[in-house]
Chains A and B, each alone.
Chain A
Amino acid sequence: MPSLKDLRARISSVKNTRKITSAMKMVAASKLRRAQDAAEAARPYAVRMERMLGNLASSVHGQAGAPKLLSGTGRSDRHLIVVMTADRGLCGGFNTNVARNARLMVRELLAEGKDVKLLCVGRKGRDALKRDYGALILKTWEGVNRRGVAFASADEVAQHVLDQFTSDNFDVCTVIYNKFKSAISQEVTRQQLVPFPVPEVSGTPGSTGEQKALYEYEPSEEGILADLLPKNVAMQVFSSMLESDASEQGARMAAMDNATRNAGDMINKLTTQYNRARQANITKELIEIISGAEAV
């Protein structure tokens, strides 16, 4: 039976915890809104780039001279995986889910006898993978979303991926990240960056399909494509960073909401226990006094 003093200390410590978690929840909620706005703002660029690329890719696809970023190296023996997580914890299963998925993928690929290398965006992902696959991690980036996600940081990651590709160090590159579904649910997603999966242009009816053949290209289809594809890699990295950032804030908000609620329950339970103990004490003292008086 804990003493009254112990109980008081417990209650006040849980109250402090609740204050912190509810503040973190509030912060995450406002960051979430900003992250969602940023993701929204990036959409027009992504949509238009995809449209251009769709036009170009379908006309060049299958030709012998198609750029390697589009057609691939013709093999899939060496994989590069970009693992995108947060720098900080306290956001539920956000980081663990990505890390688990990544570990699974690495294990599968290694079992097939393929070569795997990892790039980590976010400290938590690196920490989680370091123990099992530390030797495979080539590079880690930290603090990409400290002040909102900037395109420059996505560009840096993309540049690294492209450098590795030009120096012929891998065949297939995949990003694993949390896709934002709603404020309370995220979905771990694997997205292939290189070679670029050609979008189905013929499947979408309307303007893009009709105008396709009519475009003039300046300088040439291949020339534009050679410029556009690396940009597209950067854009894909950027949009997954944005998704991941929004997901992180959502996950943290949900986790902290839960924690706040749990702390509230805990305080109620402890308060009941405290009151009981207090009353028991009073009763005991009364009995002592009364029995003392009777004895006299």
Chain B
Amino acid sequence: MAETLEFELVSPEKLLVSEAVGMVVVPGSEGDFGALPQHSPLLSTVRPGVISIYQQGKVSRRIFVAGGFAEVTEDRCTVLAEEAVPVEDITADMVDQRLQAAKDALQEADSPLDKAAAESRLRIAEALAAARD
């Protein structure tokens, strides 16, 4: 049995992470799931949250993603994310700014479409705030 899993995190602009890992925990839209080697094939949407990468049983990296898709196969886990920030790079200013911007957008939204967009921005901002703690 393979000991490691090929984990890839890609954004439209570049390939962010590509490494062999012990386990990754991905915030799926129906709940977090951990992907270990020999995981059964799975396609899932990802909600805004933190991806934790485990090496030798310990968390080696934590990366915030603003939603996307995950594909898991026996020896590979691929996450397509639109935005990804390492947790240690998140600053209080950034969080405040985005929270404020999202709240403003929600206030100004008049059509249901705008409102939904603003709400999802707020959710992302809130997840970002939670990731920092």
> B-contacting residues of A (Cβ < 8 Å)?
38, 41-42, 44-45, 48-49, 51-52, 55-56, 150-151, 154, 163, 166, 207, 211, 214-219, 223-224, 227-228, 231, 234-235, 238
Contact = CB atoms under 8 A, between A and B. Distances in A.
B43 A48 contact: no
Nearest to A53: B69
B12 A56 contact: no
Contacts of A214: 40-41
B11 A45 contact: yes
Nearest to A56: B43
A216 B40 contact: yes
Given A44-B15, A48-B78, A227 B45 contact: yes
Nearest to A216: B42
Main secondary structure of the interface of B (DSSP, over half): strand
Contacts of A215: 41-43
B43 A49 contact: no
Given A42-B13, A216-B42, A216-B43, A227 B28 contact: no
A224 B43 contact: yes
B13 A219 contact: no
B44 interface: yes
A152 to B, nearest CB: 10
Given A218-B30, A219-B29, A151 B44 contact: no
Given A42-B13, A42-B14, A218-B42, 7 more contacts: A48-B78, A151-B13, A219-B45, A224-B44, A224-B69, A231-B82, A235-B12
Contacts of B69: 49, 52, 224, 227-228, 231
Contacts of B28: 218
Contacts of A238: 12
Nearest to B28: A218
A34 to B, nearest CB: 13
B2 interface: no
B6 to A, nearest CB: 12
Interface string B67-86: 00101010000101010000
A55 B30 contact: no
Interface string B5-36: 00010111111000000000000111001000
A38 B78 contact: no
A224 B69 CA distance: 8
Contacts of B15: 41, 44-45
Contacts of B92: none
B1 interface: no
Contacts of A150: 13
Contacts of A227: 45, 69
Contact of A38 (B13, B30, B42, B80): B13
Contact of B71 (A48, A166, A231): A48
B111 to A, nearest CB: 10
A231 B15 CA distance: 17
26 contacts: A41-B13, A44-B15, A45-B10, A48-B8, A48-B71, A48-B78, A52-B80, A55-B43, A154-B12, A211-B73, A214-B40, A215-B41, A215-B42, A215-B43, A216-B40, A216-B41, A217-B43, A218-B28, A218-B42, A218-B44, A219-B30, A223-B45, A224-B69, A227-B69, A228-B69, A238-B12
Contacts of B10: 44-45, 48
B108 to A, nearest CB: 17
Interface string B100-114: 000000000000010
B12 A45 contact: yes
Contact of A211 (B8, B11, B41): B41
